[in-house]
Every structure is written in structure tokens, then in C-alpha cells.
Chain A
């Protein structure tokens, strides 16, 4: 099985709505059509925010995963789940 190769990976851990969506827009503008953008986030709202925002930006979610992983922000906020999105720019 072929692994997904992202042209660009964006670290959105610790960010809250609406920043991951903003990052996705910026990220998609930095890759070429057909390439894949990886977004790593801790905001649970991204599960409902990223897919429609990706569609609106003419991109498709190739893969989406949710893994148990502890991450602590610089300010000490602790997160238990990591959300990963692989988004292909369609046009």
C-alpha cells in the first residue's frame, strides 16, 4: 500500500477555531494542484470544520485520522487527541 506523501505539513496543534481553517487556506495556496497538504491539529472542532472548509476551497480530504497522543502547549494546556488531515488541492 502506498503511503501518502505530503508536499507540506502544517503544525496546528494548540490552535483553536478558526485558525486551523485559516492555516489550511494558506497551506493550500503554497502547494501545487494535485499535491497533498498535511494538517496536524488538537482542536476537536476541526473534525467538523476542516471537511466543509476543504470542499469550499476546492480540495478533497484524502485521509483523516484521530490518534490518542498527549501533547502539551507552551502555556501548559494539555491535549489527549491528535487529529491529522491529508488534503489534496484539486484546482
Chain B
């Protein structure tokens, strides 16, 4: 009997901050956990997530974020030290509430067979080489390569 076709999800990861790293990695981990084929395409600031040491060093800034639990006027948010403070508060909350960290989700996605692809023009723009990326990254592909992957995906998202 023919093997049943697996569900497939492709996500374009274009953001490189601690908060915006969550949606793609949460979805990717859950989908891979359900046995889906998962492809993450890291482009623009998203490259930050797959640079060596990048996932561990993600930050969040309070600038222009009126939705934060402790909103502060932008004029104060730009003061040096505010970004590290917001970052450590968010990390503390993540730890306390038992939510997985980004490095953990990244590792789990990969362990369960997820595929990581780096965007070629973004690599060129940020002057990055293959060795600047974590080993989990499978290849460096262009937009055509991604479209080929996404053409028969059940779900394709842009984050």
C-alpha cells in the first residue's frame, strides 16, 4: 500500500527578536511532534535565529511596544539598559511559567526531523558564511528553492 502523504508546513521566519521567534518555533515543534514535514526558511532578521549563538542571545526591546505588560513611554524605552531589562524580564517569565526556551524549541524541532534553510540573499546582505550558521541548518537556498518546497505544502506562513 502506498505510504500516506504526510502533512507539510513551511514557515518564512523574517524576525529576529525573542518575542517573534516564538510563533514559528512553537508551530514547528508542534507540527514536527505530530509527524508533519516541517521547513523553516530563515530570511532577513530571521537569520539571527540560526547564527551561531544567536538563539541564546535573542533580545526584546520595549521601544514601540505599548502592548508590553509594563508599557513605558518610548522616550524612556530608548535609554541604554532598557532592552537588556525587558529581555531579562521576558526570560524570567518564560522560565517561571515553564514555557520552553527558543534554543530548546530549536533543538526539539530538529530532533523530530524539522528542516532549516537559510536565505541566500540575506546571507549575502549580512555578509555571513556557512560557518557562521549553526550546524542544524541544512542548506542555503534562494526564493525559488523555497517556493519549490512550499508548492505542495498544506500550510505556508510568513512570520
Contacts and interface: CB of A to CB of B under 8 A. Distances in A.
A2 interface: no
Interface of B: 7, 26, 29-30, 32-36, 95-100, 108, 112
Contacts of A52: 34
A57 B26 CA distance: 18
B97 A77 contact: yes
B153 to A, nearest CB: 16
17 contacts: A15-B98, A16-B98, A16-B99, A16-B100, A17-B26, A18-B29, A18-B33, A21-B34, A22-B30, A25-B112, A53-B33, A53-B34, A56-B36, A57-B35, A73-B98, A75-B96, A77-B97
A24 interface: yes
- Most A CB within 10 A of own CB, among B7, B26, B32, B33: B33
Given A19-B100, A75-B98, 9 more contacts: A15-B98, A18-B29, A18-B33, A49-B30, A52-B34, A56-B35, A75-B95, A77-B97, A77-B98
In the A-B complex, the 10 residue pairs with the closest CB atoms = A18-B30, A56-B34, A21-B33, A22-B33, A14-B98, A18-B29, A53-B34, A25-B33, A75-B96, A16-B99
Contacts of B95: 75
Chain A contact-residue range equals 10 to 19
Nearest to B92: A75
Contacts of B97: 16, 75, 77
Contact of A18 (B26, B35, B96, B98): B26
A35 B146 CA distance: 40
B76 to A, nearest CB: 29
Interface string A59-79: 000000000000001011100
A22 B112 contact: yes
Contacts of A17: 26, 30
A49 B33 CA distance: 11
